[in-house]
Structure 1
Amino acid sequence: MDSLALSRIEVADHPAPTIVDEVAGLARRELAPLAPAIDAGSTYPDALLRRFGEIGAWGSHVPQEGPADLRCAIQSIAAIGEVCGATAFMAWCQNTLVWYAANSTNLKLARRFGDGFSSGRVLGGTGLSNPMKSFFGIERLKLKGRKVEGGYVVRGALPWVSNLGPDHFFGTIFEREDEGGGTAKGGPGIVMFLADCSDPAITLQPCKPFLAMDGTGTYGVQFRDVFVPDELILAESAGPFVKKIRAGFILLQAGMALGLIKDCIGIMDEVEPPLGHVNRYLPQQPTQFRELHAEFEKEAMALASDPYNSDDSYWRRVVALRLRLGDASVAAAHAAMLHCGARGYLKSHRAQRRLREAYFVAIVTPATKQLRKMLAGDER
């Protein structure tokens, strides 16, 4: 056999690593040692988030001539989430910011920020917690704006926005005071825009310590008559825009849950040799969660290949999957703690961190109770 044929066989036997492979490797090598400090809030891993961007973690779901595919993005978030739930959350924030810019019809904005966001050179988050709640009658919009020459002036405050820093951006929504606002579902008086954290009229206020996730760059954000130029407007009418991006917004969160559940299965497997003789009496076993994980992953991949699907049945599948993922995250982390016993109760053991992170998956917007409200069709 000639050397060229042999080299082809070697290439076929050893395919180039995928983005997900590279993300998983970087997470194991460099994120794992940082996870306790990120959890404790002493480290915000901005340099590592940029590294993930350099290997393609934030750009795989950018629409190409119409279609979009979220599968690689979800798998990458899951690979990060196997190691650190807080960083998986920041990965979701960054990917969601990319999703906003990639779907905006403001071509100046897309050209200015698209590559910066997707490459990780520019980091940021999503300020849609309050707007998403407002669209379903849970809260009122907290930001107000009025039209001025060349843009808008915005005032108000958001209590929690994550993956932020002094040079970061995030997407959020204000209600126009000069047009009487919009409807609960986001009418013509509801505008979505990019907020620039370097603006001196925007103040990032540190939050009180959380149960977990303190290293996620989470702040309260105050807008004191912030001028938002037209170049930073994602959508003049936020309602149709949010309807377009909402499935992606929620589906990308599946990565956080899939990664966490997989590691909880791993924790249960790790304690099987010393504790299996007594753990077999526990009602929830790793085999059950392996089956659930496979089911969820299959459904997530099916939905993620068609994020612009406007059918109501598709939307309900997205919401139902997200609800089940939140419930299963808490159940898997709870089971992992019980399988570990006293060793999992040590602060040095990741089982207790996983339990705290799991509750975050269940309460981050859209939270379990909002998802149930959405499925019930109650938008009051």
Structure 2
Amino acid sequence: MSLALETYSTDSASCSIGNAMLNQVQAIAHQELLPIANNIDEGHYPREIMAALGKAGALGVHLGAQDTRYDLALAAMQEVGAVCGSTAFLMWCHGVCGLYMDQSENTALRDRLAGHAAGLTLGGTALSNPMKYLSGIEPMLLRAQKVANGYVVNGTLPWVSHIGKGQYCGAIAAVEDATGKITHEVLFILDMDERVQLDACPAFSGMEGTSTWRVRLKDYFVGQDDIVADPAKPFVARIRGAFILLQIGMATGLIQASIDAMREVTPTLGHVNAFLRDGPDRMQAEFDELQSRVAGLVATPFATDKEYLLDVLDARTHGAELALKATQSALLHHGARGYLRAAAPQRRVREAHFVAIVTPAIKHLRWEMARLMKEEVPV
């Protein structure tokens, strides 16, 4: 276990429970997930793996007002991400959807949380466009009008992952008044029922098993039981650090797996790999530094002060950049055998590219850090 629980807690009982859960996650990752990792990359949506992770307790450890364990959530994601980046991404999607319901004051949503945390129901997040909108990068794609007992929402979202018929996701719409002026934003749970049209997206270069769809809404009614936060901006400001912090587990799994892959070929290729700049010892030192930084952030995931948010944004950026470097180096260490279609090193390179572009992408993260440094906080 790379994220040692002793780093975060001196409570031996807590560490024991955490280690038991992570042992189950590790078994799922290596016994059930590893044999189908390439199938997931090519299009298999691993509902069965998500259900197993939920049963093990890995999907809900960061939820609950009294004992949020972001250390365990990241450690579990790292174990999974070392085997399959797509599934680690699905864990993040599921985790932040749970975050929305958990942190909402709407008791109707919190009543849905137990099934979600256990992986009995599956839900993702559609906040890519809203996060860019709130940062001033692009316009909001969903628009809402106030009606009796709720809102009517229209619009199209091009890329929403970890969804399908009978599932759900968190979404934000800009609320317009009678003149078309935006008055505020509303965050709600969008149920993928007969009212929602799902269209296939163009094929990605990988990670096809993330069940990513184009979502079209026409006069979709959002009732009071489905509203997470109204207005949305104060809520998003409160959870923003946790939202971004959870993504770091996708990067750390790829980094550790890549370092392990470099060491794996040392007995046969070490004499020539020694001439590569980014070797396993160098990568491990930088990775340990990142892990140390993350260990200091997980204890206060809902801090909102400027310095904390800068640290979270910078750690997330560091993780993405190190994932790019480590996965490329692992491929170079393996040579032609790592470039084979079924080889894990070439798949991890593509997974690392995804970590670098998924919202918030590296460029978005740097944009946000620049805004914060100028004290131009968008939400």
Both proteins in one fold, TM over 0.5:
yes
Residue in 2 that maps onto 1:208: 202
Between the aligned partners of 1:240 and 1:46, the Cα distance in structure 2 is: 33
Residue in 1 that maps onto 2:78: 78
Residue in 1 that maps onto 2:255: 261
1:20 Cα offset (Å) = 1.6
Out of 278, 286, 291, the residue aligned to residue 292 of structure 1 is 286
Residue in 2 that maps onto 1:96: 96
TM-score normalised to structure 1 length: 0.91
Between the aligned partners of 1:300 and 1:167, the Cα distance in structure 2 is: 35
Answer yes or no: is 1:193 the counterpart of 2:194. Answer: no
Between the aligned partners of 1:31 and 1:84, the Cα distance in structure 2 is: 7
Out of 25, 37, 40, the residue aligned to residue 35 of structure 1 is 37
Question: Which one-letter code corresponds to 1:59 in the other structure?
Answer: G
Question: Which one-letter code corresponds to 1:203 in the other structure?
Answer: Q
Question: Which one-letter code corresponds to 1:54 in the other structure?
Answer: K
For residues 88-127 of structure 1, give each alpha carbon's deviation from its aligned partner in whole angstroms, at most 9, with x where no partner exists: 000111111111110001112212x111111111101010
Question: Which one-letter code corresponds to 1:80 in the other structure?
Answer: V
1:203 Cα offset (Å) = 1.0
Residue in 2 that maps onto 1:49: 50
Q: Is the CA contact (8 Å cut-off) linking 1:69 and 1:306 kept in structure 2?
A: no
Q: Where does 1:120-131 land on structure 2 (aligned, <5 Å)?
A: 120-131=119-130
Q: Is the CA contact (8 Å cut-off) linking 2:241 and 2:304 kept in structure 1?
A: no
The alignment yields a C-alpha RMSD, in angstroms, of 1.8
Q: Where does 1:217-232 land on structure 2 (aligned, <5 Å)?
A: 217-232=211-226
1:288 Cα offset (Å) = 1.2
Answer yes or no: is 1:312 the counterpart of 2:306. Answer: yes
**Which is worse superposed, 20-29 or 250-259?**
20-29
Residue in 2 that maps onto 1:5: none
Residue in 2 that maps onto 1:3: none
Q: Is the CA contact (8 Å cut-off) linking 1:128 and 1:172 kept in structure 2?
A: yes
Between the aligned partners of 1:259 and 1:361, the Cα distance in structure 2 is: 11
Q: Is the CA contact (8 Å cut-off) linking 1:181 and 1:189 kept in structure 2?
A: no
SS of structure 2 residue aligned to 1:310: coil
SS of structure 1 residue aligned to 2:210: coil
| Bigger Rg, which one | 1
Q: Is the CA contact (8 Å cut-off) linking 1:181 and 1:190 kept in structure 2?
A: no
Out of 358, 362, 365, the residue aligned to residue 368 of structure 1 is 362
Q: Where does 1:266-345 land on structure 2 (aligned, <5 Å)?
A: 266-345=260-339
For residues 17-52 of structure 1, give each alpha carbon's deviation from its aligned partner in whole angstroms, at most 9, with x where no partner exists: 5212211111111000110100011x1111210111
Residue in 1 that maps onto 2:146: 147
Between the aligned partners of 1:181 and 1:272, the Cα distance in structure 2 is: 62
The number of aligned residues is 360
SS of structure 1 residue aligned to 2:209: coil
SS of structure 2 residue aligned to 1:18: helix
Residue in 2 that maps onto 1:20: 22
Q: Where does 1:107-146 land on structure 2 (aligned, <5 Å)?
A: 107-111=107-111, 113-146=112-145
Between the aligned partners of 1:342 and 1:233, the Cα distance in structure 2 is: 52
Unaligned runs of at least 5 residues, structure 2: 1-12
SS of structure 2 residue aligned to 1:305: coil
Taking every aligned residue pair, what percent have the same amino acid on both sides?
A: 41
Between the aligned partners of 2:41 and 2:167, the Cα distance in structure 1 is: 21
1:64 Cα offset (Å) = 2.8
Between the aligned partners of 2:296 and 2:206, the Cα distance in structure 1 is: 31
Q: Is the CA contact (8 Å cut-off) linking 1:193 and 1:235 kept in structure 2?
A: yes
- Return structure 1 stretches of 4+ with deviation > 3 angstroms: 179-182
Question: Which one-letter code corresponds to 2:35 in the other structure?
Answer: P
For residues 105-157 of structure 1, give each alpha carbon's deviation from its aligned partner in whole angstroms, at most 9, with x where no partner exists: 1112212x111111111101010000000111111100001111121110000
1:181 Cα offset (Å) = 5.3
Between the aligned partners of 1:348 and 1:68, the Cα distance in structure 2 is: 38
Between the aligned partners of 2:241 and 2:23, the Cα distance in structure 1 is: 25
1:348 Cα offset (Å) = 1.8
